[in-house]
Structure 1
Amino acid sequence: MLSHALVQPADAEDDGVMGEHDQDQDDVAEPARPPLSAAQAREMTAGLREAMDDVRRSVAVLAARVRDAHAARVWEPLGRPSWEAYCDAEFGISRAQAYRLLDVARALAAIHGAVAAGTETSRTRDTDPATAAALDYGLSQRALIAVSGRTGDVTELITRRLVTLAHSGLQALDEPTVGAVVRQAVRDIRSAPPPPPADPPADPAITATRRLVDDLAANSHAIGELMLEVAPAYLSDTDAADVLALLCEQIGEPLEHGLAARRYALSGDRRALHGTVL
């Protein structure tokens, strides 16, 4: 079940550009059915929304349990040498999936902490701890993985914006408002380039080289997001290559570079670009 938990419906963080294949799904022939009334359509839509919310909440609960299991070093009493070996033996998931689960768990934990620190009146502080831990603010796993390496930036931004709202008194800090603040902060950090080093080198050549590397990485991340729209995260590199070959040819990007950019967008780790773009 854990391997399937890494596949989640797109949320507000991932809406927008869709592949042509997705757009064509409305035209796929299906068995004839009696037309729905407006009331039936609304009822069906409500059921879909509820199911999507259940999936997101289940992922958030899973993330909390993953975090607790890793903190308790659950693999040791079971005789496993490491977290990845434990996940492979118990759930049949890959090393990459095992660590993506941790990325999601850590990012959510950091966001929960920022929400708790940023306001004294949010409904998230008044609910049962188990319920609060299950809140995922409508974020996709891809969004959480993308900011897992920049949780300090995300939490600082969330805390600052919630404190500003709380002091302004212009808007009640209920759950929808807090969720909107969190989603916007994650969106802003995902689209912003990484901050420069705290102590930049005195050599201008080194500074210029680092700037060039940062620009290449930012461009590669944008390309990787495009690749993920066409070849979603649940596809292996081999399957993604089959899907992306034509796209890469059309945009003049070597397939290996496209796959590397896709891995970078998934992990946020620049080492995914070594030997290709960087």
Structure 2
Amino acid sequence: MSVLAAVEPIRTQVVRADQSDNREWLNEQPVCQLLTQHHIAHVGLMEAPQDFQMLRPDQSGTFMLACYEGSGMVLADGQWRQVSAGQACLLPPFVTNAMKTTGRMPWRMCWVRYLESRESNPIVSAGSPVLGSYDPQPLFHAISGLHAECAGLNTPANLHLWTELIHSYVLRFAQPHQADARLWKLWDAVEKSLDHPWTLEELAARACVCKEHLRRLCRDELGRSPMQHVTFLRMQRARHLLSTTDDKVESITRQIGYMNPHTFSNTFKKWIGWRPSEHRR
């Protein structure tokens, strides 16, 4: 269930993949079935006014937001993060998604929302950032072009081109080519051994850099500290195991490197939005 609130009207331009979602704000929007080829549920442009708030408790797909004017706050990794013009935010599936405006100026953004099953591998990977610098103009124009084509001549060849561009612009942010191979190798090793009791000192030694340099690299490329990224990878693995296995919570706790199920449960609730026991209901 989504909860939207705003004193002033919310202005949107949306293209949806099909007509299965009958929420009021999507009802009159054009359809492009080619979006389903990339498991995209809908794309759009939004002008969020003052006092805008949105809460989606169980977002069933990766969500990317790119801001081209103003700023607002997004709930990511269990904390509120500011997203300003020239930045993008990437949220994994099946977590609580919340956004709100904080100032008097409108918050203008474009977004792409995927539809993924709990068993599938989302486009969010070990190297995906949560927040970072991003030029929103190519994505903005691609979504505008798709909307205009859907509302106009609706030519299949043009729909295909706009759809491919939108997906590629998301991947440009979600799956970047790591400029520093040391980071790629580090997170590949961590993801393969999440049960290991990783420390900042060991992560830095693995990457052959000092702790402060590793912090700077991770902040610049991922928008998280090194240990926050370890937690992110652990929570994503836990979510996947809860969705695809019958393993007990105690077993999953140990598989991802926690000794105390209570600590794991509290961390999972902070990052995902609910407790592990509630994930299977």
Higher relative contact order (CA 8 A, sep 6+): 1
Relative to the length of structure 2, the TM-score reads: 0.32
Between Structure 1 and Structure 2, the one with more helix by share is: 1
Flag the structure with larger Rg: 1
Between Structure 1 and Structure 2, the one with more strand by share is: 2
